[in-house]
């Protein structure tokens, strides 16, 4: 049965190595296994991240070797270490599975036993049984009966248009390497970019494509060629659109968490497996995902909730602020906010210094309370770092009583930080009338890496999708900032000017750790601690709840 049906082999291998305990196989994973065995020679298997498609396909390679020791295979990935890991996994299974031990290579027979390529027992020929060859390595001169292209599309290989073009050209080389008669090419992966390499591969007509998304798709899905086992379940009513396809791996709660942490566009590509991403996902930041609110410089509501319509306030769309976003986009106020207000836990002013005479030196003031970020001010100037211009930055620092002044180290930010320190010392306030705690502010610099546009989007998209960023009404009226928010894409130089959104994203990034906290739970804790403090002050000691007398 194992020889005739790869699914039985897979189940046996999983049980032997106890993989069924950590990565159990359902009908969905076994459907991928069946497609590996019976699908067309040239095929693309798209399955969501952490599906286990690489492990299943390594098992498929092992099974093919078990059936035919003359098989030659190339494992290709984005980097050599990834290919090597796959090769070593196959070798481990051969060495440690009783019914596969006869495949183990023998040095005395001059069979290859290296970490990058090896032969199974009885293999003869110029090319190894299994070889690790990264997408960036030389493929010319090699031959194989089976090529597995495992996650050749990654963030790094799709960062620029040039890199995406190179990746597409290299994937075409596989058809020149595989044996023309009976050869197989299997692509594994999920889209990593709006211009995914899997789309032109599929459109060549040479490859068949099948996808297994993390959720049962809606009728208007942009996923391509949904696996029949998934499409039929929705059609027959056995599953509803939006339900998890593999609840034994990811529950609905897990999926909600992944969508929130990855952001709308990334989740759409990597988990829902959408190709040809729609315009709203090419420009993934939308004004409607913010909460627009008249922020106080020193305190904020204990809780605040986003929504488009509430029974108390009605329609929350703020009509008097023009929208520069796509059709239907705009600013929305909260549907509810708490009557109790508390001081911000932390406030920073982030400065992105200009890198040329036509660039802006921009800064953003952001406060944090209970996992919500309040954008209190965004401003900028063009020109020299004169005393008058630096006073504008310091004026906002003093007005909002920020705890830290943080400068982007690149582009002259480190120098600007030194220039501003003596001016900041003059702003120092000792405790006294009108400022009982006094005011002083630290100065620091940070260094950013990676493509700017990608960094900005990936910093802002997830907290915006969770509606955790509150924007001061005065900031919302800044048309330059709004244009930058709604028109930025992951392409280099997608904006003529990006200084204001860069300052905002850099400020938000400083709060990455606190965004993980549960805002409602934290607010409840604060209220309870306030009650406890009041009771302790009234009764002179903490109250022991166990000693309370409860009355009906």
Measured CA to CA, the distance from residue 464 to residue 263 in angstroms comes to 8
Q: How confident is the model over 230-241, as pLDDT tens digits?
A: 999 999 999 999
Note whether residue 306 is domain-resident.
Answer: yes
Taking CA atoms, 151 is separated from 75, 91, 142, 409, 523, in Å, by 10, 20, 20, 35, 43
Residue 365 is inside which H or E element, if any?
Answer: strand 360-369
Q: Residue 264 above 80 pLDDT?
A: no
Q: Are residues 295 and 196 in the same domain?
A: no
Note whether residue 29 is domain-resident.
Answer: yes
Q: Residue 549 above 60 pLDDT?
A: no
pLDDT of residue 521: 60
- Distance between alpha carbon 97 and the CA centroid of its chain, in Å? 37
Q: Residue 522 above 60 pLDDT?
A: no
Q: Per-residue pLDDT averaged across 259-271, rounded? A: 84
Q: Residue 7 above 90 pLDDT?
A: yes
pLDDT grade, residue 547 (50/70/90)? very low
Output the domain CATH number for residue 299: 3.30.420.240
Q: Residue 120 above 80 pLDDT?
A: yes
pLDDT of residue 551: 39
pLDDT grade, residue 529 (50/70/90)? low
Among the residue ranges 62-71, 104-113, 312-321, 432-441, the one predicted with the least confidence is 104-113
Note whether residue 53 is domain-resident.
Answer: yes
Note whether residue 538 is domain-resident.
Answer: no
Mean pLDDT of the chain: 87
pLDDT of residue 63: 97
Q: Are residues 87 and 193 in the same domain?
A: yes
Q: How confident is the model over 147-176, as pLDDT tens digits?
A: 999 999 987 888 666 788 889 999 999 999
pLDDT of residue 519: 56
Tokens at 473, concatenated: 């009404």
Q: Are residues 413 and 451 in the same domain?
A: yes
pLDDT of residue 412: 84
pLDDT of residue 139: 80
**Residue partners of 399: CB distance under 8 A and separation at least 6:** 297
Q: Are residues 270 and 360 in the same domain?
A: no
Q: Are residues 75 and 14 in the same domain?
A: yes
pLDDT of residue 438: 79
pLDDT of residue 89: 94
Output the domain CATH number for residue 56: 3.40.50.300
Q: Which residue range forms the structural domain that includes residue 321?
A: 287-521
Q: Are residues 496 and 385 in the same domain?
A: yes
pLDDT of residue 115: 73
What's the pTM value of the predicted model, to 2 decimals?
0.65
Q: How confident is the model over 396-417, as pLDDT tens digits?
A: 999 999 999 999 988 788 899 9
Among the residue ranges 131-140, 242-251, 295-304, the one predicted with the least confidence is 131-140
Tokens at 300, concatenated: 């904020």
pLDDT of residue 300: 97
Q: Residue 526 above 90 pLDDT?
A: no
Please say which residue of 227, 255, 279 terminates a domain: 279
Q: Are residues 275 and 292 in the same domain?
A: no
pLDDT of residue 158: 80
Q: How confident is the model over 416-470, as pLDDT tens digits?
A: 999 999 988 888 877 777 677 778 899 999 998 888 998 999 999 999 999 999 9
Contact 364, 350 (CB under 8 A): yes
* 479-487 vs 499-509: helix crossing angle, rounded to 10: 80
pLDDT of residue 355: 72
Q: Residue 513 above 90 pLDDT?
A: no
pLDDT grade, residue 532 (50/70/90)? low
Contact 423, 464 (CB under 8 A): no
Q: Are residues 220 and 89 in the same domain?
A: yes
Q: Are residues 193 and 328 in the same domain?
A: no
- What 476-485 contacts at long range (C-beta under 8 Å, 24+ apart), as own/partner pairs, is 476/287, 476/290, 476/292, 476/318, 476/321, 476/331, 477/321, 478/378, 479/322, 479/324, 480/380, 481/378, 482/287, 482/323, 482/324, 482/325, 483/324, 485/285, 485/287, 485/325, 485/460
pLDDT grade, residue 111 (50/70/90)? low
Q: Residue 1 above 80 pLDDT?
A: yes
* % of the chain with per-residue pLDDT over 70: 89
Please say which residue of 279, 308, 342 terminates a domain: 279
* % of the chain with per-residue pLDDT over 90: 56
pLDDT of residue 204: 87
Q: Are residues 358 and 314 in the same domain?
A: yes
Task: Tell me which of 327 and 237 has the higher pLDDT.
Answer: 237
Please say which residue of 279, 308, 334 terminates a domain: 279
Note whether residue 487 is domain-resident.
Answer: yes
Q: How confident is the model over 362-399, as pLDDT tens digits?
A: 999 999 999 999 999 999 999 888 989 999 999 999 99
∠ CA(262), CA(264), CA(266), 5° rounding? 55
Residue 291's closest CA among 302, 303, 306? 306
Helix/strand/coil (H, E, C) string of 152-201? CCCCHHHCCHHHHHHHHHHHHCHHHHECCCCCEEEEEECCCCCCCCHHHH
Among the residue ranges 26-35, 145-154, 267-276, 502-511, the one predicted with the least confidence is 267-276
Among the residue ranges 103-117, 477-491, 513-527, the one predicted with the least confidence is 513-527
pLDDT of residue 391: 93
pLDDT grade, residue 530 (50/70/90)? low
Q: Per-residue pLDDT averaged across 76-98, rounded? A: 92
Note whether residue 355 is domain-resident.
Answer: yes
pLDDT of residue 552: 38
What is the count of structural domains for the chain?
2
Note whether residue 78 is domain-resident.
Answer: yes
pLDDT grade, residue 34 (50/70/90)? very high
Q: How confident is the model over 534-545, as pLDDT tens digits?
A: 555 655 544 444
Note whether residue 551 is domain-resident.
Answer: no
Q: Are residues 392 and 272 in the same domain?
A: no
- Distance between alpha carbon 330 and the CA centroid of its chain, in Å? 25
Q: Are residues 363 and 391 in the same domain?
A: yes
Residue 466's closest CA among 373, 378, 377, 376? 373
Task: Tell me which of 328 and 60 has the higher pLDDT.
Answer: 60
Report the DSSP pairing between strands 334-337 and 73-76.
unpaired
Measured CA to CA, the distance from residue 167 to residue 161 in angstroms comes to 10
């Amino acid at each position: 049965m194992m020889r005739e049906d790869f699914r039985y082999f897979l189940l046996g291998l999983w049980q032997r190595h106890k993989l069924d305990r950590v990565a159990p196989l359902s009908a969905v994973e076994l459907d991928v296994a069946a497609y590996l065995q019976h699908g067309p020679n040239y095929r693309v298997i798209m399955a969501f991240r952490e599906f286990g498609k690489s492990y299943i396909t390594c098992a498929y390679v092992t099974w093919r070797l078990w059936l035919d020791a003359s098989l030659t295979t190339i494992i290709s990935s984005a980097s050599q270490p990834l290919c090597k890991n796959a090769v070593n996994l196959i070798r481990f299974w051969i060495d440690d599975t009783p019914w596969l031990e006869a495949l183990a290579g023998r040095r005395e027979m001059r069979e290859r036993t290296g970490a990058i390529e090896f032969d199974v027992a009885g293999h003869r020929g110029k090319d190894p049984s299994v070889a690790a060859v990264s997408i960036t390595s030389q493929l010319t001169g090699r031959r194989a009966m089976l090529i597995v292209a495992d996650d050749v599309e990654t963030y790094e290989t799709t960062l620029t248009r040039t890199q995406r073009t190179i990746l597409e050209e290299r994937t075409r080389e596989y058809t020149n390497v595989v044996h023309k008669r009976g050869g197989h090419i299997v692509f594994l992966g999920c889209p990593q970019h709006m211009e995914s390499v899997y789309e032109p591969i599929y459109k060549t007509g040479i490859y068949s494509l099948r996808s297994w998304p993390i959720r049962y798709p809606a009728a208007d899905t942009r996923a391509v060629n949904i696996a029949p086992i998934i499409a039929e379940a929705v059609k027959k009513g056995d599953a509803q659109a939006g339900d998890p396809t593999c609840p034994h791996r990811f529950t609905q709660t897990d999926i909600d968490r992944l969508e929130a942490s990855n952001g709308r566009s990334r989740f759409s590509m990597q988990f829902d497996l959408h190709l040809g991403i729609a315009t709203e996902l090419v420009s993934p930041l939308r004004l409607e995902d913010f909460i627009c609110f008249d922020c106080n410089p020193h305190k904020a509501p204990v809780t605040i909730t986003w929504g488009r319509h509430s029974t108390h306030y009605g329609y929350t769309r703020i009509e008097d602020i023009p929208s520069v976003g796509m059709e239907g986009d705009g600013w929305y106020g909260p549907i509810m906010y708490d009557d109790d207000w508390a001081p911000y836990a932390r406030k920073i002013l982030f400065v992105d210094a200009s890198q040329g005479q036509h660039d802006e030196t921009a800064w953003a003031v952001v406060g944090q309370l209970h996992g919500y970020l309040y954008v209190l001010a965004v401003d900028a100037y063009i020109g020299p770092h004169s005393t008058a211009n630096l006073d504008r930055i310091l004026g906002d620092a003093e007005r909002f009583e920020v705890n830290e002044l943080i400068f982007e180290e690149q582009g002259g930010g480190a120098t600007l930080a030194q220039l501003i320190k003596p001016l900041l010392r003059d702003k120092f306030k000792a405790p006294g009338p009108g400022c009982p705690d006094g005011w002083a502010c630290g100065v620091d610099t940070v260094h950013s890496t990676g493509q700017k546009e990608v960094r900005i989007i990936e910093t802002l998209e997830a907290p915006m999708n969770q509606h955790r960023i509150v924007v001061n009404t005065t900031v919302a009226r800044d048309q330059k900032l709004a244009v930058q928010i709604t028109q930025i894409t992951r392409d280099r130089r997608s904006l003529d000017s990006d200084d204001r959104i860069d300052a905002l994203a850099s400020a938000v990034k400083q709060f990455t750790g606190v965004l993980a906290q549960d805002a409602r739970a934290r607010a409840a804790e604060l209220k309870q601690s306030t009650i406890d403090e009041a009771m302790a002050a009234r009764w002179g000691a903490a109250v022991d709840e166990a000693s309370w007398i409860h009355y009906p």
